[in-house]
Amino acid sequence: MKWKLEADIMQFEDLLTEQRNHRSMHIDRESTLEMVATINREDHRVARAVQKQLPQIAAAIDAAFPLFDEGGRLIYVGAGTSGRLGVIDATELQPTYGLTADQTFGLIAGGQSALTETVQSAEDSVELAHEDMAAVHLTDKDVVIASAASGQTPYTLAALRFAQDEGAIGVGFSCIEGSPLAELADYPITPVVGPEIITGATLLKAGTAEKMVLNMLSTGIMIKSGKVYQNLMINVVPTNGKTFERAKKIIAEATQTSTLAAERALDRAGNNVPLAIVLIETKGTIAEAKELLAATNGHVSQAVKLSDSRH
């Protein structure tokens, strides 16, 4: 392991995320329109910084999705803003892609109360990180996504190292090149967004960069894991009138058929949207559609392709 918890920590005032931004030195004297234009110009830099990390993001996705396919979990770890954004990403994945809270979740320094209030000193606690990670019983199929704008938050570093010691792979998001987190992670992702518009306010550009990166990571893993067909969310579970209508619409659009045909297929498939799509696309029986999905680990695109190859 290259990184040691007791060493390699940069001086706080030397961190790029804590430097003053010369482009916003007079933002307090700008008109409101000038102020938001300044903020917007800085936000453009975020997208460019993330773009430079696309190969690293793709590598992390390619490493993560086979593990997720095999029953591994996506576990987000962080403190403060970084931790909250991880919890949000994990939480939103559940209804969007039909996941359970056991398949993806976020751990934040200080626990659930830290989502809405500051928990003093939690981000500095190595012991708390060990307790939180031990409680989730990590396996070598788990993927831990650790985020810290500075790349050196003790809680986050300790959590990631604990996870790796248990065999999990570690993805590390930070905004500082060569940070302890970047050195520790198996798959470091480091968009360098530069000094913040308001000095040290990493909820701004660093937070935006993290949201963009987490969106790419989780969306990519879901697509590669078969949770998307074409560009449609196919793991919606019809539980009420609204979601039933949404499921019918998804099936109809995916298969270029009528909503009536989609409704009939959904009924035959027992309200299973992927099964209904395969049923229509392959023009087979329920048993054949189930066998195709089982053979392709639930990947609708692969199931349809496999059916075509058999005919």
Q: Is 107 exposed, middle or buried (0-12, 13-18, 19+ CB in 10 A)?
A: buried
Is 291 marked active-site? no
| 169-173 vs 143-147, strand pairing mode | parallel
The vertex-124 CA angle with 122 and 128, nearest 5°, equals 55
181-to-63, 79, 122 alpha-carbon distances in Å: 18, 13, 18
- Three-state DSSP at 29 gives helix
Catalytic residue among 123, 196, 210, 281: 123
Q: Residue 131 catalytic?
A: no
Degrees to nearest 5, angle at CA 66 with 65 and 72: 80
- Which of 92, 166, 253, 263 is catalytic? The answer is 92
Asked if residues 79 and 118 have their Cβ atoms less than 8 Å apart, the reply is no
Give catalytic residue positions: 92, 123
